Amino acid sequence: MQWSDEAIVLGVRRHGETSVIAEVMTRGRGRHLGMVRGGRSRTMQPVLQPGNSVEVTWRARLDEHLGEFRIEPMTLRAGRLMETATAVYGVQAMAALLRFLPERDPHPHLFEALSVILDHLHEPADAGELFIRFELAVLNDLGFGLDLLECAATGTRDDLCYVSPKSGRAVSRGAGAPWADKMLALPTFLRDESRHAADAVALADGFRLTAFFLNRHVCEPRGLELASAREGFVQAALKALGTPQNDQSRKAHA
């Protein structure tokens, strides 16, 4: 068995004296593991850093075997990813999210999204917004997608500002007003009509929204917690933009 594909390094772990087990996200074959002989060498260590884009060739006698990777560098961005806190935490947090998905299950749109976000992790507003959209995409691929296009109560697409914690569906300002204290805020940049870039308040709302549904549907049933790197990324992104005040009025921030 053999195949080649473009991939992004998610992480490595030691295997024996000189080799490593590399974990990568491939374009067409999803998250995949493979042994890299000599992966701890001075030549290969800089290549096998999280966030780098590589060309991988996988070989094994049978498809179900771990197999071996031959890896060639493509885009070595790991050094730049060490320059800011959002980048350091962001690449780790996205790798952790991808580990919720079954190994070898193709998700080409997540591969494309990961590639884009890795090149924008130094801009906190862009990185935060893209990261939240990435979390929503992961939820969707796991079968827990949110419906944010129209009001669950009225069907309108106008003035959406809440998300029901029960159904994961958007709710308009008027329909949700009686239960506003129980609703999650729908960030302005996720509203269908919005053309505004994310600010600190909208990002805080977005991080709270995705964390709620990731915990409910993904982490708690598996006895897991969200990766600590996610909290590091959230704090770094909000700090860079000016952390919003902790008040309930942001639930209806427009």
Could you give phi then psi for residue 50, rounded to 5 degrees? -55, 135
Q: For the chain, where do the domains classified as CATH 2.40.50.140 start and end?
A: 2-76
Q: Domain spanning 2-76 has what CATH number?
A: 2.40.50.140
Cβ atoms of residues 207 and 233 within 8 Å? no
pLDDT value at residue 193: 62
Length of the chain: 254
Helix or strand run (H / E) with residue 215? none
Helix or strand run (H / E) with residue 4? strand 2-15
Extract long-range pairs of 212-216: CB within 8 Å, 24+ residues apart: 212/165, 212/184, 213/139, 213/144, 213/146, 213/168, 214/135, 214/138, 214/139
Could you give phi then psi for residue 102, rounded to 5 degrees? -60, 140
Residues 67-93 pLDDT 10s: 999 999 999 999 999 999 999 999 999
What's the start-to-end Cα distance of the chain, in Å? Answer: 54
pLDDT value at residue 138: 98
Rounded to whole angstroms, the Cα distance separating 51 from 124 reads 17
Q: Please determine, for residue 6, whether its predicted confidence score (pLDDT) is greater than 80.
A: yes
pLDDT value at residue 251: 40
Residues 144-153 pLDDT 10s: 999 999 999 9
Residues 180-194 pLDDT 10s: 999 999 998 998 665
Q: In 119-227, which residue ranges form alpha helices assigned H by DSSP?
A: 124-141, 173-176, 200-214, 220-222
Q: For the chain, where do the domains classified as CATH 1.20.1440.120 start and end?
A: 85-252
Could you give phi then psi for residue 59, rounded to 5 degrees? -135, 140
Q: Which CATH superfamily is domain 85-252 in?
A: Recombination protein O, C-terminal domain (1.20.1440.120)
Predicted model pTM:
0.92
Query: In the structure, what pLDDT confidence band is assigned to residue 199 with cuts at 50, 70 and 90?
Result: confident
